[in-house]
Structure formats: C-alpha cells, structure tokens
Chain A
Amino acid sequence: MQIRKTKVKRRSFGLWEMVLSVVVLTILGSFTVKMLITAKNMNSKSYDLYKGMSHAITLVETIKSVSDPLDLSEKDLEPGYSLQFKGEEVQITGYFNEDWDPSIPTKSHENACYWVIAKAAPLHSDGEDSEDVARVYKINVEVRRMVPYILEKSQEYQIFSLDSVKCYSRFVK
C-alpha cells in the first residue's frame, strides 16, 4: 500500500483575503449609506410637503380673508413674500432657504431653495365692474424646490400644487 504524502502549503490569513473582505464590506456599506440617504431624502420630502401645505393654507386663507384681492398689501403677508398686481390678477411670490427661512432676495435667487407662488385670477371677466356683481377668483398655489435633494439629479422638484376658488361679493364673506 502506497501512501501518497502531499505537502500542503498552509498560509495565515493573507493580504488578499483582507482586500477581498474590505471590498465586499465597502460595497455593503455603500448600500447602507445609500439607504440612509434615501430615508433622509424621504423625510425631507415629507417635511417639505407639510411645510409647503402650511404655506399654501396661509396664502389661500389670506387671499380669502380680504373683501377684494386687489386690496391685498404686503403687510398682510408673511415675511419673505412679495406682492405683484397684473391687471386683475394678483401674484404672491416667496423665496425661502433650506431651513424655510425667508431668503434674502438676489437678482437670480441662487440662494433660494424653495419657491412658493400664489396666483389669484378672475375666472370670468364679463367686463362689468360693479359691487353687486359676484366675481369668482381662481387661486392657484405652487410650491417648488429648486435645489436637488442629496444624490438626486432633478434640478427642480414640484412639491405640490393646489387650486381653490373664492367668490368675492358684498354678500359673501
């Protein structure tokens, strides 16, 4: 009987095994970090939605609280908003930074992260301009994020948009 003796070369835990495990764990770690960033982005989107909603509610309620949208003035609005009249249309614009604080306006608004715009325009314009005629206004509020979320590509993101209608008449409050 012949016993074959083979010489087994035994090695300790080598550098290549180490490198391989580092690579594998780095890949797994990067997935975990990606998951964390995705979860954080989802939270940011959720907060932005509610924050945008609170701004939109405030704007719609402010527009609805006056007897005529053309009576609106900047003192009726929260800080960060500016008011413009284009004929019978009223436009309210606000720029906010990452923390939803009013951003200091610059020409190109590059320091702004969020953009809120509210428009109130008459639905039917029959040319009559009398206090007795009810005027129906369509109010549209749009909230946008102008800076992409972490690791996201889209430059502009519409957080949400809502429409409302208000009838202005001396008989309706």
Chain B
Amino acid sequence: MTKEKGTSVIALFNMSLLLVFTIVCLGVAFSTIRGFQDVQEERDNISELAVAMSYLNARLRQNDCSYAVRIDSSPIGDGSALVITEEIEDSEYETWIYWWAGELVESFIEKGDDRIEEASSPIAEIDGFEVTYDEPDLVKIHVWCGVGSKNKDLTFKVALRTQPIGAEEF
C-alpha cells in the first residue's frame, strides 16, 4: 500500500513537471512567434523608410532645375507636400508628393487641376512625412514609421543647386 502510494506521488510529480514544462514551452513558442512578427514588422518599416528616402532623394536630384521645386501645404489633411513643376509640350505639370492615410503618395497632374487625390499613386507605406526648408537652398525631409519603442525615422537634407520656389521668404 505504501509502495503504491509512493509510486503515485512520483507519477503525480512527473505529471506536474510535464505540465509546467509544457506551459513553459508554449510560452517560449508564443513569445518567439511574437518576436519574429516584431522583427518582420520592423524589417518592413525599415524597407519602406529606405524606399521613401531614396525615392525623395532621387526625385529632388532629378528635378533640381530653376524654380522647379517648392514646398506647399498638403492638398489633403495637415502636413506639407513637396511639389515639383515641369514643363511638357508647353504645358506645366506638377508632381505632388505628400502623406495621406499611412502612405507616401505621388500625384502627377496638370498645373491648376484640383483632382490631386484622384491622380495619386502610393510610393511607400510610412506613418509620416515632413518637408521643410532648412536654409534657402537646403530641403530637410523627415520620414517616420511606427510609434513608441518601435519608432523608426530617417531625416536628411538635400542641397539644391537652384533656388527653390518660396525659399526667398526663409
């Protein structure tokens, strides 16, 4: 009787150890899954920021012509927009680059056309975009993704060789 009781105590101990171990294993597995999801999300955010940075840098460099670049207020919502003006077959066209609903968008329209939103196409999924003049010929761009501890941001300046529109007021 005592031997049977001893055996059942050991079995109970083994079972409870197995239970604890299973719980710990599940905890580690779930936290690893969560960890990998966070890593994936962070990687996506970094990629989107890199896309936004190289796109904006390239667009500014391509269009560094006299009075071709200006900073305006965003056509939709708050914030700022980068506007690039170019002349194609005697007509002036504008490229509006601004942030809307979690995306950096580009809209290519004829100057004066107010259907900016309809003509927009997404560039990168980011959480914010800000463009300002730092000096009369230095354009400062700030893009960011994520909030709190997951926040990632990139800030860079581009020196224009030509005078941007509106920078005289700086």
Contact = CB atoms under 8 A, between A and B. Distances in A.
Interface string A2-33: 00000000001111001001100100010011
Chain B CB within 10 A, most for which of A40, A53, A55, A61: A61
Contact of A12 (B14, B21, B53): B14
A45 B70 CA distance: 34
A32 B159 contact: no
Contacts of B35: 36, 40
Contact of B43 (A46, A55, A58): A46
A64 interface: yes
- Grouping DSSP codes into helix (H, G, I), strand (E, B) and loop, the B interface class, with mixed when no group exceeds half, is helix
Interface residues of A, number: 31
A50 B49 contact: yes
Contact of A33 (B32, B138, B156, B161): B32
B14 A50 contact: no
A39 interface: yes
Interface string B25-50: 10010001001100100110010011
Given A12-B14, A54-B53, A43 B156 contact: no
Nearest to B138: A65
Nearest to A21: B21
Give the interface size class of chain B: 20 to 34
A57 B46 contact: no
B156 to A, nearest CB: 4
B18, B137, B157: most-surrounded residue (chain A CB, <10 A): B157
A58 B42 contact: no
Given A25-B25, A43-B42, A58 B156 contact: yes
Interface string B1-27: 000000100110010011001000100
Contact of A32 (B17, B21, B32): B32
Contact of A65 (B49, B57, B154, B159): B159
B14 A13 contact: yes
Interface string A34-53: 00100110010011001101
Interface string B88-111: 000000000000000000000000
Contacts of B43: 43, 46
B59 interface: no
Given A18-B18, A43-B39, A12 B159 contact: no
Contacts of B65: none
Contact of B157 (A21, A47, A51, A58): A58
18 contacts: A12-B11, A13-B14, A15-B10, A18-B18, A29-B28, A36-B35, A36-B39, A40-B39, A43-B39, A46-B46, A47-B46, A47-B152, A51-B154, A55-B156, A64-B159, A65-B137, A65-B138, A173-B161
